[in-house]
Every structure is written in C-alpha cells, then in structure tokens.
Amino acid sequence: MKAKFSIMILFLLAFAIITNGNDRKSVSVTVYNQNLGVVKDIRSFDISSGISVISLTDVAQQIDPTSVLIKLDGSVLEQNYQYDLVSLDKILRKYIDKNIELISKSGEMIEGKLLSSYGLQVVIEKVDGGLLMIPNVNEYRFSVGSLPDGLKTKPTLVWKIDSNKPGKQDVEVTYQTRGMNWHAEYVALLNDDDTALDLNSWVSVQNNSGTTYDNAKLKLIAGDVNMVSERKGVFVNGLKRDMAFAAEADEQFAEKEFFEYHIYDLQRPTTIANNETKQISLFNAEDVKAEKKFFYRSGNYYGSSGKGKVSVIVEFNNSKDDGLGVPMPKGKVRVYKSDGDAVEFIGEDLVDHTPRKEDIKLKIGEAFDIVVEEKQTENRKISDRVYERAWEIEFKNRKNESVVIDVEKALGFGWTVLSSSHEFEKKDAQNITFKVPVSADDETVLKLKVRFKY
C-alpha cells in the first residue's frame, strides 16, 4: 500500500524533498529608505560541464525577478522564479479527482476521491459509494500520497546554465527586493535652561521581504534614490513584527559619502530575521548647543482675525563646533526633559536628511502661557488695482519671564509696507518676518499697514 503522510508532517518533511545542492558562502544586504533592499548572495554549487540546471532557495518572497544579476564561469540561458508555495489549500486543489484520507478528531478514518475543495469546505466521493460533504475541514486531518509537483516550500530561483567547466564554483547572485526599509530615530534630552541637549540616534531596520539573512553584512543608504513606480511585488504573507534590540555604547557604523548619498556600514555581521524590526545604535552626541524659540505665523493676507497659537521650537546647528557635525538621516526626534523628579516627554518632530553645518528646527508643541489675538483693522480700496490693509497682532505673555517671538507674516505679491510698529525683514517675495519682544506677564501689539498693487 502506498505510504501516506499527514499534511502537518508533510510540511516538516518538505525541506528534505526539495534539494538545492548549494551552500551559502556569504550574504550582504543593503537597505534603502524606500521599501527596497539589495541582496548579494554568494553560494557554492557543484556544477556539471555544459548545460545543466541549478536552483537557489531562500530568496526573498518579494524579490523583483527582473533585477537578478548572476555571475558564474559560464552563461545563463534561462531563469525561472518559482513561488507557488506549499499550503493546505493548494495541496488539496492539486488532489482534485485523486484519493485522500481524512481522520476525524475521534480517530475515524475516511477514504475517498476528492471532488471539490473550496475554502473550508470539501466534497468526498467515498470508496463504498455516496458523497461526503464537509462544511468545515478544521474538524479533520488530511493524508495524501506525496507533495504535488510544482509546489515549493521556499521561493526558488532556477537557472538553465552553460558552464565552462565541471566541479565546485562560487556563484554570486544579486537582486532587489521589496519589503525592506530603515529609518533613523533620535532621542534628545534637553538640559534645565534649554541651552543644550544630549542626542542618541538609532536605526530601525525592517525586514518583511519573506526570508531571513543569517550573519549578513549590513549596509544602509541614506538619501532619496529615484525609483520607477511600475515595480510590482510578487506577494506578501501575513506579517508579525518583533523587536530585536542591539544597543551598544560604541559607534557600530562606519559612515562615508557614496555617490550623492551617505552609506552606513555596520562593522560586524548581524542576522536580519524575517518579519523583524531590528534596532541598532547609530551615534551618541552630548552637550549639543541648542536654543528654544517661539514662532508665530500670521495667515491669510486678504484678511485674518481670531486667536492663534505660538509654536515652541528647539533649534540647533549640525556642526562639530556645536557638538554634532554628522550627517543625520531622516527620522523622528523625540525630546525629553527632566522636571526635577523624572525625565518627561515634551514633544517630537520629523527631520529630513540633514547634512553637516545645517540648522535643525524641531517643533516641540504650542506655548501654553502665550496668547495671540489677531485682527484686521483696515481694508480700503484706493483704486481698481490698489488696496491698503492693516493688522494688529496682540501677544499676551503670561509667563514669569520675558520672551522674543519670531513672527512671519504672509503678504503675497505686489506689496509695500507703509508703516510698522516693529522692524521687519523681507524673507522672500511673499513673506516678511519680525522679532517681537514681550516682557514677563505683559502684552505687546504688532501693528502693520501694507499697500497692495495688482
């Protein structure tokens, strides 16, 4: 009698059924900020001279097969990407019109021809006659003769090659895959008087590509690489995210300029497991000079009134003189400060890729004790193409200390300032800026009158 295997056992034994005949020598993974990874996999194959077939398993399920580059001593005649993976539903569909066995929870065995399999429902033609309709296959275990042809336990690249010589040789395969990403995360601790901060940087590497890369050489590319939007992923299984932490005090990445980007090279191998988010320390910086600022943007130049809010900004320069001076990949910055008893979260903001010697401005939140009331006091038509408008912006500072508020006013085009209670600077063709000092527990009114020609 032909040997039968339960499907549960079949899944465990399937790895022995498919042989790939190759050993991994090394693997390198370069991860980009744009849901992209580039994998370089070196395998050792025992290859016959002339035309033969070799296969590479454990490739990413989200591989772009059109991106594959293979190097060997010979030529590649044909490539196939096989990703019809083993599942209960697929095995049953392959056994339509063939005999299978069902075992109930009580141990009762039913044998017959599988006529239909749809979702959780199957129809069996029993050996002794009659039809058995099962509305829920979860009540049974199945046994079949063997793994159907064409199904794979792992995504596999298969090549027909023409080798120049027989024997062992290393084959280098490079390909792109979706489902890989990384981003930076920063944690800043602001000092008591808001004049400096400590900055810790992490990178979070996400791998949802469909395979694990053991002891891989990891590189990260910081920058916006142009991608053609027509790329199609193959398929994605259900995902589960785990967190793997690998924090160390010493710097672990070597950073260098690469083309028009920056590359971060991890100075040790690491395993990048599938469906995992791995966090690795990028750099630490202490006592970075910083400044707390208050910012208010006045809105519509056609007429605005009502109450507004003043933003709280923490600003610092990414320079070595100020305690930093490293390329900062884009990511989220979380800011903390001690209240004397414990460190508390005070706000967060996103930063884009920032090179050295550039300012970084973090919006932390809105000032609780500063109130803004804005109103338009004048809107006169001088002629068909000339208008005059005036505003008053009142700042009420209910803090116990004086503040200076950076104010930006949108004016549009064709403007001329007729009068202003405070000095201003032209930021660009449409905006002007002011610095408005407000004493502790006091009020200040910014008055502005502008002529517009259209």
pLDDT digits (tens, 9 = 90+) for 97-137: 888 887 888 778 878 888 888 777 888 888 888 887 887 77
Chain-wide mean pLDDT for the chain? 84
* pLDDT bracket for residue 149 (50, 70, 90): low
- CATH at residue 94: 2.30.30.520
Percent of the chain at pLDDT exceeding 90: 58
Give the model confidence (pLDDT) of 23-51 as tens digits.
Answer: 889 999 999 988 999 999 999 999 999 99
Q: Is 50 exceeded by the pLDDT of residue 178?
A: yes
Tokens of 287: 């006592």
Q: What is the count of structural domains for the chain?
A: 3
Query: Which of these ranges, 94-103, 259-268, 379-388, 391-400, has the smallest mean pLDDT?
Result: 94-103
Residue type, 321: D
On whether the CB atoms of residues 210 and 234 are closer than 8 A, the answer is: no
Q: Is the pTM of this model over 0.85?
A: no
- 307 and 442 fall within a common domain: yes
Indicate whether 49 belongs to any domain. Answer: no
Range of the domain at 434: 291-315+359-454
In sequence order, what are the residues at sequence separation of 6 or more whose Cβ sits closer than 8 angstroms to the Cβ of residue 243? 276, 277, 279
pLDDT of residue 218 exceeding 90, the answer is yes
Tell whether 94 is covered by a domain: yes
Determine if residue 67 is left, alpha or beta; phi over 0 gives left, psi from -120 to 50 gives alpha, anything else beta. Answer: alpha
Q: Give domain status of residue 40, yes or no.
A: no
CA proximity to 328, closest of 146, 147, 165, 200: 200
CA distance 162 to 78: 10
- Please report which confidence band the pLDDT of residue 15 belongs to, taking 50, 70 and 90 as the band edges: very low
What does the block give as tokens for 359? 């300012």
Residue pair 440/399 in contact (Cβ under 8 Å)? The answer is: yes
Percent composition of the chain: helix, strand, coil (DSSP 3-state, to 5): 5, 60, 35
Q: Are residues 128 and 184 in the same domain?
A: no
133 with 237, same domain: the answer is no
**Contact status, residue 22 vs residue 156, Cβ threshold 8 Å:** no
Residue 314: HSE in the Cβ half-sphere, 13 Å Cα cutoff: 29
Which residue type sits at 88? L
Residue among 166, 167, 216 at smallest CA distance from 24: 216
- Length of the chain counted residue by residue: 454
Nearest alpha-carbon partner for 32 in 217, 214, 225: 225
CA angle 274/276/277 to nearest 5° reads 140
According to DSSP, the residues that pair with 40 across neighbouring strands are 28, 174
Domain-embedded: residue 28: no
In this structure, the answer to whether residues 262 and 199 fall within a common structural domain is yes
Residue 92 falls inside a structural domain: yes
Percent of the chain surpassing pLDDT 70: 85
247/392 same-domain check? no
Q: Which DSSP category does 370 fall into?
A: E
Structural domain contains residue 76: no
Cβ pair 54, 159 in contact under 8 A: yes
* Domain-embedded: residue 402: yes
Task: Produce one character per residue of 17-53: b if its CB has 16 or more CB atoms within 10 Å, e if not.
Answer: ebebebeeeebbbbbbbebbbbbbbbbebebeeeebe
